[in-house]
C-alpha cells in the first residue's frame, strides 16, 4: 500500500483535512480531493499560471507545490473570492470589460491580480504587465486584462 500523508490546512478560510501521496501536487489535491476545480492545469511546469493560488498570502503556482507541503498553511483560491453570488469588483469588472474568452486562464489571472492589488493598490500598466507575465492567456490578448485590473484598482481605491 502506498504511503498516504494526512494534511491539515486552511483553504479559503475553512479548515480542511486530506490524505495524499507524496508526489501529488497541491493542484491535484485542490482539484481531485477538495473538489475546487477553479485552479487549472495548463502546463504543469510553472509556465502558464493557470494554477495560481496564494499560500500564506504569497502568490505561487500550485502545480509546483506538493500537497503535503500544505500542512499548517492558509491557501486562497479563486473560489474564495466571491461572497455567494456577490462578485468582488475585480471579478465583476473582468466580466464587464470582457477580459476573458474561454476562461481557462481567468481563475489564475484573478488570483494573481488580487495579490497585486493587495500589495499595490495603484499599479501602473508596466507593473501590471510584469506582475502578470507568468499568467498566459491564449484568447483575449492582454490589453483587456490589464485594463480590467486598472479599472478594478481605481474602483477599489475610491
Neighbouring CB atoms inside 10 A of 22's CB total 11
Residue 41 makes contact with ligand FES by CB under 6 A = yes
CA angle 104, 105, 111 (to 5 degrees): 125
Out of 23, 47, 119, 143, the only residue in the binding site for ligand FAD (CB under 6 A) is 47
Contact window for ligand FES (CB under 6 A) among 13-21, 40-48, 66-74, 119-127: 40-48
C-alpha cell at 1: 500500500
How many Å from the N-terminal Cα to the C-terminal Cα in the chain?
A: 57
Residue 48 makes contact with ligand FES by CB under 6 A = yes
3-state secondary structure at position 25:
strand
For CA atoms 35, 36, 42, 47, give the dihedral sign. negative
Complex with ligand FAD: residue 47 or 125, whichever CB lies closer = 47
Provide the binding-site residues for ligand FES, judged by CB under 6 A. Answer: 41-44, 46-51, 61, 63, 100-105, 137-140
Provide the binding-site residues for another protein, judged by CB under 8 A. Answer: 2-3, 5, 21-23, 25, 44-47, 49, 52, 55, 58-61, 63-66, 68-69, 71, 112, 115-116, 130-135
Amino acid at each position: 500500500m502506498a504511503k498516504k500523508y494526512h494534511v491539515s490546512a486552511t483553504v479559503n478560510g475553512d479548515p480542511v483535512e486530506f490524505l495524499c501521496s507524496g508526489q501529488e501536487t497541491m493542484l491535484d489535491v485542490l482539484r481531485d480531493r477538495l473538489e475546487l476545480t477553479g485552479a487549472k492545469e495548463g502546463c504543469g511546469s510553472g509556465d502558464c499560471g493557470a494554477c495560481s493560488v496564494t499560500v500564506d498570502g504569497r502568490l505561487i503556482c500550485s502545480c509546483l507545490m506538493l500537497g503535503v507541503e500544505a500542512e499548517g498553511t492558509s491557501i486562497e483560491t479563486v473560489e474564495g473570492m466571491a461572497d455567494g453570488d456577490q462578485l468582488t469588483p475585480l471579478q465583476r469588472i473582468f466580466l464587464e470589460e470582457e477580459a476573458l474568452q474561454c476562461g481557462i486562464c481567468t481563475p489564475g489571472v484573478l488570483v494573481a491580480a488580487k495579490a497585486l492589488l493587495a500589495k499595490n493598490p495603484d499599479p501602473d500598466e508596466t507593473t501590471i504587465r510584469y506582475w502578470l507575465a507568468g499568467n498566459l492567456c491564449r484568447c483575449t490578448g492582454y490589453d483587456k486584462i490589464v485594463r480590467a485590473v486598472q479599472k478594478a484598482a481605481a474602483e477599489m481605491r475610491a
